[in-house]
Amino acid sequence: MTASGVRPGDPEFPADVASVLTRIVPAAGPFASEVIFHRTLGSTSDEAARLAALGAPEGTVVLADAQTAGRGRRGRRWHSPARVGLYLSVVFRPPAEAGSVWSTTSMLTLTCGVAVAEAIREVARLPVTIKWPNDIVVEAPGSGSTAQPEPRRARRRKLAGILAEAAVGGERLQHVIVGIGVNLRASARPVELTDRATSIEEETPRACDRAELLGAVLAALARWRTRQIAGDTAAIVVAWRALAPGSEGTAVRWLQDGRQRQGTTRGIDETGALLVATEEGIERIVAGELEWE
Ligand code: BTN
């Protein structure tokens, strides 16, 4: 395998992935047209960013069997051994007239969250939900009394994560790389993830085929990105809210300037910011780490 990876037609390109791509090209268009496979990479997002800087078009996908330096949000490591996960990164090129870097990246994050959650629901038939901003989780009802409507409590285990990274140059957004990692099978995880992570295999007895899941993710990305480009962001927000029940009525805590804050989630606004009711009024949260009850 060359350092630049292989494309469909190359004998080293996975045959199952090639056959799914051929099937979905009519629906997934640009998201199934330029898929580059590597057996091992540091991070698919680094490679996608390198290609984007060289002019790769929107929809270019970098896929790897394993990553040696997979990264997650807030500088965390994304555990990426071979054969246990789906690891891919996708190049997006927001139009020049798009809004601020934050609002464009935020809307793309919501769009991709909806697409990945829908794909997992369709292929694995698991009722995954989204935890703001974009963790795909499996929820088990918590021990809270059902007679008390709120705050809502649930035990959540993360099954997939999405990382959107924007590149700005010459005062405008050049591209956004969206990295997607889905845990397919159980693996020896770092001890700090033992209670917080899960995989499709651990949640359902039905087998989930990596190539089929990839095809469903790419088709869903194409579907939702088309709506976003057409300006139908309201539909994306509506779909996101329906997939994220915890964004309404869940107790959350966070640190702000060294001060412990707490409140109850009140949904997202039309830009993707999380609204939290606190004793001091409604807070609009655009980034950061929240602890969820
Ligand atoms: C998160 O922390 O929830 C985001 C995880 C994103 C992981 C994926 S795996 C493919 C891509 N390459 C990376 O290095 N990270 C993303």
β-partners of residue 36 are 62
Query: Judging by DSSP bridges, how do beta strands 154-169 and 172-183 pair with one another?
Result: antiparallel
Instruction: Name the residue of 86, 159, 163, 196 to mutate for ligand 1: max ligand atoms within 8 A of Cβ.
Output: 163
- The whole model's pTM is what? 0.93
Nearest CA to ligand 1 atom 16: 179
Atom of ligand 1 nearest to the CA of 42: 14
**Can you give the pLDDT at residue 143?**
41
Tens digits of residue pLDDT in 215-256: 999 999 999 999 999 999 999 999 999 999 999 999 999 998
Distance from the CA of 247 to the center of ligand 1, in angstroms?
A: 22
Nearest CA to ligand 1 atom 2: 72
Tens digits of residue pLDDT in 99-123: 788 888 899 999 999 999 999 999 9
Distance from the CA of 187 to the center of ligand 1, in angstroms?
A: 17
Atom of ligand 1 nearest to the CA of 69: 14
Nearest CA to ligand 1 atom 14: 70
